Structure 1
Amino acid sequence: MREVVVEAARFLARHCEDPITLCDVADHVGYSPFHLSRAFERQVGQPPGQFLAAHRFQHAKRLLLSTDERVIDVCHAVGFTSVGTFTARFTAVVGQSPARFRQLPELLAQAPPRPVIVPGRDRDGGVVTGKARLSAAAEAAIGVAAVYVGLFPRRMARGRPVSGTLLGETGNFLLVDVPPGRYWVLATALPAHARAEDQLVPGRGVAGAAAEPVHITPRTPVHHREVWLDVAPEWDAPVLIAVPPLASSLTLAVPSA
């Protein structure tokens, strides 16, 4: 079944600009929509529709940075009919509105990302420590890496992290002031010396996640996790969150919407 799901994911990634449906994908791989949807979410971690939307938002990010098209035109180009729905969903997953995202290269040129710890909202909250390591393939793919680590309520980087950091040279990370709850430690690596545009929409995805979530409670406020980052398959869902602004002094203090 793994091969079927991968082929379905490849099909969705290839046709993210087309008006395709779950039935189209199911016909392509020869499974019923119901069984494919269940298997897809079990293997990939998100349903086919959400996976398709992720690729569409990634395409929207490219269009916003590489063209002068209006937001409404970008909205229609990636398969949305309502600019309000597109803007709301883009902002929710990327952490910046489409108009704001388009401004980021200029803002980041003025204040490039620097190693930083962005705390959570609970000053008496928990702490997560750990180390992030890159595979040999990941190091070869992006060279000198800027590694971002964050805590998220689900095993996908959507919106702003509960607590986040841009690592220094050691690879050790510290996430602080974490409210009680269950979170995933997720990481992504970007080419540190690339243009802002190439950091905001990288050509190769390099990402990783801790093997187990953390459960922050008053009795267990401190956790440790190790994260391995590797090159993601070409068909995999991209990391949508705009992470460089999280480590820029100019953008940290400015609302995202």
Structure 2
Amino acid sequence: MGDVRESSANLTMEHAVVRAIEIMQERMEEPLTVTDLASAAMYSKFHFSRNFQRVTGISPGRYLSALRLQAAKGLLVTTRMTVTEISHRVGYSSVGTFSTRFTRCVGLAPTMFRRRGGFAHPVPPASPPRGAGRLPVVRGYVRSPELDEDSMLFVGLYPTPTPEGHPVRCTMMDADGPFVLDQVPPGTWYVTGYRTVLGGPSVDARVVALAMEGPLTVRQGLPMMPLDLRLHPVSALDPPVLPAFPDARSMAFHGAA
């Protein structure tokens, strides 16, 4: 009986989180607060915030910020609106704050993102620190759900649980299989794998399958266990993937950075 009640409570909370996300999408241009969202979900602010983070992996405030930036990405490549107009459309009163956050999270300034059609420059291999010698390797195997759409697979290493900006290391593939991230600096990292639909200029809903793993502690001289990265179809509960997608047209399918 206890398991049934717990399962029912979890399902109820997931429904409340989905409803809160729908409100974020519908009222994105408004100065929404966590209190507003908690009230709409009919929970206390503390209870709502704690469970929202448990369900989605990030706080309500960060989720709302990610939704706003995701919407801005789409507007930049599909409309002629100015950066100032877009910043206001997605809920920012300051274009400077919008541009700073967009650049940090997406990896390109809004104007450059538009100029490149929504794609990032290929990430060049980073040089190891002087005297570091051979750095560790992170390797594993990626498995995706069956997809009807033509897509590319990307695996990247980031310093945060949700990917932001440029990956520390990354690789692109056109099919499931083994991956290798070479010359990984020692530290604590998070691995994100996702599939993106190919073709078309719109950035909206490009990510169709996703997996996030971590934290992963990398130490010099210590071997790493291979990762089993299993992607799942993206749902409303998954935070948006904000970094600009690497341009598959300018990277080898098996190239690594």
**TM-score of the alignment, normalized to the shorter chain, above 0.5:** yes
**Equivalence for 2:113:** 101
Q: For 1:87 and 1:246, how far apart are their aligned partners in 2?
A: 26
Match of 2:232 in 1: 230
Residues 1:127 and 2:127 are matched in the alignment:
no
Task: Calculate percent identity across the aligned residue pairs.
Answer: 33
Partner of 1:32: 44
* Deviation, structure 1 residue 161: 0.7
Distance 1:121 1:176, change over 3 A: same
Query: How many Å separate the matches in 2 of 1:78 and 1:170?
Result: 36
User: Unpaired segments of 5 or more residues in structure 2?
Assistant: 1-9, 252-257
Task: Tell me the distance in 2 between the aligned counterparts of 1:153 and 1:106.
Answer: 23
Is 1:243 aligned to 2:245, yes or no? yes
Is 1:172 aligned to 2:178, yes or no? yes
Instruction: Trace 1:104-253 onto structure 2 (pairs within 5 A).
Output: 104-105=116-117, 119-122=125-128, 124-136=134-146, 139-140=147-148, 143-169=149-175, 171-192=177-198, 194-195=199-200, 197-198=201-202, 200-203=203-206, 205-210=208-213, 212-245=214-247, 248=250
User: 1:246 deviation in Å?
Assistant: 8.1
Indicate the residue corresponding to 2:7 in structure 1. none
Check conservation: 1:154, 1:183, Cα contact below 8 A. yes
Change (3 A) 1:7 1:106: closer
3-state SS, counterpart of residue 102 of structure 1: helix
Q: Judging changes above 3 Å, is the alpha-carbon distance between structure 1 residues 99 and 76 closer, same or farther for their aligned structure 2 residues?
A: same
SS in 1 for 2:101: helix
| Deviation digits for residues 51-70 of structure 1 (CA, Å, limit 9, x no counterpart) | 00111001111111111111
CA 1:14–1:106: 2 relative to 1, 3 Å = closer
Partner AA of 2:97 in structure 1: T
CA distance in 2, matches of 1:107, 1:232: 21
Question: Post-superposition shift, 1:204?
Answer: 5.2
Deviation at 1:44, TM superposition (A): 1.6
Give the Å deviation of 1:208: 1.2
Counterpart Cα distance in 1 of 2:246 and 2:204: 11
SS at match of 1:156: coil
Is the Cα contact below 8 Å between 1:166 and 1:247 reproduced in 2?
no
2:46 equivalent to 1:51 = no
Determine if the alignment matches structure 1 residue 8 to structure 2 residue 20.
yes
Q: TM-score, normalised by structure 1?
A: 0.81
Letter in 2 for 1:233: S
Structure with a larger share of its residues in helix? 1
CA distance in 2, matches of 1:246, 1:221: 31
SS of match in other structure, 1:129: strand
Distance between the aligned counterparts of 2:94 and 2:17, measured in 1? 30
Larger radius of gyration: 2
Aligned to 1:80: 92
**Secondary structure of the corresponding residue to residue 213 of structure 1:** strand
Taking a change above 3 Å as real, the CA distance of residues 205 and 68 of structure 1, as seen in their structure-2 partners, is: same
- 1:105 offset after TM fit, Å? 2.4
Q: TM-score, normalised by structure 2?
A: 0.81
1:222 Cα deviation from its structure 2 partner? 3.4
Aligned residue pair count: 235
What corresponds to 1:253 in structure 2?
Answer: none
Paired with 1:107 and 1:27, the residues of 2 have a C-alpha distance of 38
